[in-house]
Every structure is written in C-alpha cells, then in structure tokens.
Structure 1
Amino acid sequence: METILKVDNINVYYGSIHAIKGVSFEVSQGEIVTLIGANGAGKSTTLNTISGLLRSKTGSVTFLGEDLGKVPAHKVVSRGLALVPEGRRVFLQMTTQENLEMGAYTQSGKPNPADLEMVYQQFPRLKERRKQVAGTLSGGEQQMLAMGRALMSHPKLLMLDEPSMGLAPILVEQIFDIIKRLHEGGTTILLVEQNAQAALSVADRGYVLETGKVVTAGTGAELLASPAIKKAYLGG
C-alpha cells in the first residue's frame, strides 16, 4: 500500500512547553489509523500540526510526496487533506446545506449537486435537516454535518479529531458505524479519539501517545489485546 502521509520526528512547542516530542508515524492508502491517549497527550496538537495550524521546530510532514511545512494552512485542504475539528465547529447561523456547500469552497465554481447527494446518501439525517439552521441540530447531527462538510472537498485523507466527544453512547455507535462505512467506501482516515475501545475496534493500526511521545504502536487488534493498553485505556 502506498504511504500517503508521513510524519517524521515532529517537535511542537506552545511557548516554552514542549507539547510534541519527536513523533513519527505513517498512514497508507485505504487505512484507518488511530492516535489514542489520555487528554493532553498531544493527539489534537499532532493533527493541527499536520493541518498547518501549528508548525514543528524539526522534522517534516509529507503528504502525497509534498512537504507540507511550507504550505499555508488555508491551502492544505486543496491538497486533499480535510480535518473535522474537535468540537465540530459548524457554522451555527447557516443551514445544514449551506454548511455543506462551504465544504466545497476549494472546488471550482458552484458546489456539485452530485457531491451533495453523495453526502446525503451517507447521512440521510442531514437530508431531512437540510434547510434547518445548524445551531438547532443535536450534537450528533452537528458531528455528522462536520464530517459531511469535510467530505465535500473530496479528501484523499480525512482526519477526525475526537468525533465521539460529548455524544451519548448510541450516537457514538452511529458515528463509528459511519466511519466504518466511509472506510469500506475507500476513504483513508486518521482518527484521534479518547474512546480507545471504539477507535481500536475500527482501526487497521494504532499509535499510543503519552505526554507528547509515541510509546506503543501496533495493529488495532494487537493494541486491543495488550494487557498494558487494557489497563491504561480500556478499563481492563
């Protein structure tokens, strides 16, 4: 499988705080790769560095053979990399459909009706709510909207930052069913998630972050079966 994302020895600071310490990992075409770890382990910081919102002091982030270190954050999406941020960040005053159309801003001209239809097939609830103002949607519906908006840009890699955060267990199941379906449809996914059980259950491979470092890596099944991981993250 072709490696589409290569993160090599990144070190990221917030002022004097060394948040990411020499993190390296890869994502290959067609995989779900997950980064798991406790709150504050550096998972979201890693995604924000890949997206260009933060910059690493060392190393490199290479996407489809291009070093993203010199690409401005607002141009990263046009390279085929889409981030669904933690907390969803939908446009609360706009309708569901307007939010989706915003996701297509990197495409030339008007949003393609076929793209909208593709998103509505993935998320039938959004079709029902297409004229509804996004601020009135439930948390689960807003998460679906954030994911649908990202898909409008035809990403080669979809990055999801804590998609289950703040959702009831039944909605978490629904979101992970959608993640599996997107994967089966050929979408490559980098998933950051505090719900280690759910993330490792769908992931091909996983990396465990602790205090800004990768401490363990393996297949999803290996990490799920690891006594140390069970004890630390799975309540086992």
Structure 2
Amino acid sequence: MGAILKVEDINVYYGSIHAIKGVSFEVNEGEIVTLIGANGAGKSTTLNTISGLLHSKTGSITFMGENLGKVPCHKIVSKGLALVPEGRRVFLQMTVQENLEMGAFTQGGKTMDADLERVYEQFPRLKERMKQVAGTLSGGEQQMLAMGRALMSHPKLLMLDEPSMGLAPILVEQIFDIIQELHKAGTTILLVEQNAQAALSVADRGYVLETGKVVTTGTGHELLESPAIKKAYLGG
C-alpha cells in the first residue's frame, strides 16, 4: 500500500497568524487516518489547504503522485479528492436526490443511476427521503447526505471534517458505523474530528495537532492507550 496523499512541511497563515507550522503526514491507500486535537489546533485548516481552498507558503501536497500546488481548487475534486466540509453545507433548498446529483458533476452523468443506487444502499435513510428538501432533514441526515454527495464523485480519498459535530450521541455512533462500512468497501479516509475517542477507535493511524504542529503520531490503538493522550483528549 503506497501513500495516496503526502503532505510535507506546510505552513499556512491567516494574515499575520501562523496557523499551520511545518505539518507533514501521509495517508496510505485503504487506510483511515485521523487528525485529532483541540479546537483551533489547525485540523480544518489542514484539510482546507489540501483541498486548495487555502495555500501553504512552503512544502508540498502530493496526491496520487501529482503535486497539487498548481491545481485550482475546483479541479481537485475531479482528481479524486472529495471533502465533506465542517457544518455539512448541503444545498438546503434542493431535494436529497438533487444534492446527490450535484456531487456527480465531475463524472459527467455517465454512471449517475448506478451511483445513486450505490449511495442509497449505503444510506437507506436518504432513499426514504429522496424527494424531501434537504433543509428539512435532521442534522444526522444532512451529514449522511453530505457524505453521500461526496461519494458520488468516486473519490479515491474521502476527507471528513468534524462529521460528528452537533450530533446526538446515537447519531455519532451511526455516522462512525458508516465510516467503518465505507472503509471496508475500500474507501481511503482522512478524518478530522474533535471526538478523539470515536476517531481513534476507527483509525488505522492518527496524528495529534497542537497549535498548528504535529506533536504525536501512532496507530489508533497506541494513541488510545497513551496516558498523555488519555489525559489531554479522552478525559482519562
């Protein structure tokens, strides 16, 4: 399994604020890799930089062997990299099915019916609500819709930004069950999550960010068992 994504020495600024400080990590094909850390640690900024929404002053981001530095952000999706943004951001006025169809725009509609069928199999709740306007869905259903929409683009890497945010515990469990199912079906996943316990429980490997720097890395199991991580993030 080779590295599908390599992030090397990225430094990102918001004006004079140095938000990401020399971050490097990689994601191998078939893995779930998680970035954990407190609010403001730089997790979402890292994902937005990989997606091309922000730019690093240094270093490189290589995806499937191609340097993304010069690729415009709207073309990055067609390379096979899909981001489910924090806060879901579904098209609230559109139906469930219309939202999913929007996710397929990079595919040119060639496999639309088969892709819809596949997403409805993975998310039966969405099939039941296919004609419903997305703004009337619950938070958990909107999260499923955002994930389903990203899958419509046939991603080689699915990036999830805080998928459990604002959801009731039972829904958090459902979302993480779905993440594991997607992984079993062969999807490579980069997961940013404040719920460190849930994230490390499903991850092959994890990186801990503090104030814009990677401070620790290890397997999901190693980090779950680490006394320092337990104390800082798991309430142990």
Asked if TM exceeds 0.5, the reply is yes
Q: TM-score range by the shorter chain?
A: over 0.9
Stretches of structure 1 lacking an aligned partner (at least 5 in a row): none
In structure 2, distance between residues paired with 1:114 and 1:79: 20
AA of the residue aligned to 1:15:
G
What displacement does 1:214 show? 0.1
Structure 2 counterpart of 1:196: 196
What displacement does 1:80 show? 0.2
AA of the residue aligned to 2:200:
L
In structure 1, distance between residues paired with 2:111 and 2:46: 30
| Residues 120 and 109 of structure 1, relative CA distance in 2, 3 Å threshold | closer
Structure 2 counterpart of 1:26: 26
AA of the residue aligned to 1:122:
Q
The answer as to 2:181 corresponding to 1:181 is yes
The answer as to 2:122 corresponding to 1:122 is yes
Poorly superposed stretches of 4+, deviation over 2 Å: none
In structure 2, distance between residues paired with 1:216 and 1:199: 15
AA of the residue aligned to 1:118:
R
What displacement does 1:41 show? 0.1
In structure 1, distance between residues paired with 2:109 and 2:91: 21
Structure 1 counterpart of 2:80: 80
State the secondary structure of the residue aligned to 1:52: coil
Structure 1 counterpart of 2:148: 148
AA of the residue aligned to 1:44:
S
State the secondary structure of the residue aligned to 1:106: helix
In structure 2, distance between residues paired with 1:171 and 1:19: 31
Structure 1 counterpart of 2:71: 71
AA of the residue aligned to 2:151:
L
Q: Deviations over 1:127-175 (max 9, x none)?
A: 0000000000000000000000000000000000000000000000000
In structure 1, distance between residues paired with 2:108 and 2:175: 30
Structure 1 counterpart of 2:108: 108
Structure 2 counterpart of 1:15: 15
What displacement does 1:2 show? 1.0
Q: Normalising by structure 2, what TM-score?
A: 0.99
What displacement does 1:109 show? 3.6
Equivalent pair of 1:81/1:159 in contact (CA under 8 Å): yes
Give the root-mean-square deviation of aligned CA atoms: 0.6
Kindly, what percent of the aligned residue pairs are identical?
Answer: 88
Q: Deviations over 1:87-117 (max 9, x none)?
A: 0000000000000000000012455101000
| Residues 109 and 182 of structure 1, relative CA distance in 2, 3 Å threshold | closer
State the secondary structure of the residue aligned to 2:146: helix
AA of the residue aligned to 1:184:
K
Q: Normalising by structure 1, what TM-score?
A: 0.99
Structure 2 counterpart of 1:171: 171
AA of the residue aligned to 2:121:
Q
AA of the residue aligned to 1:105:
F
Equivalent pair of 1:158/1:189 in contact (CA under 8 Å): yes
The answer as to 2:60 corresponding to 1:60 is yes
AA of the residue aligned to 1:221:
H
Equivalent pair of 1:5/1:28 in contact (CA under 8 Å): yes
In structure 2, distance between residues paired with 1:110 and 1:153: 11
Structure 2 counterpart of 1:39: 39
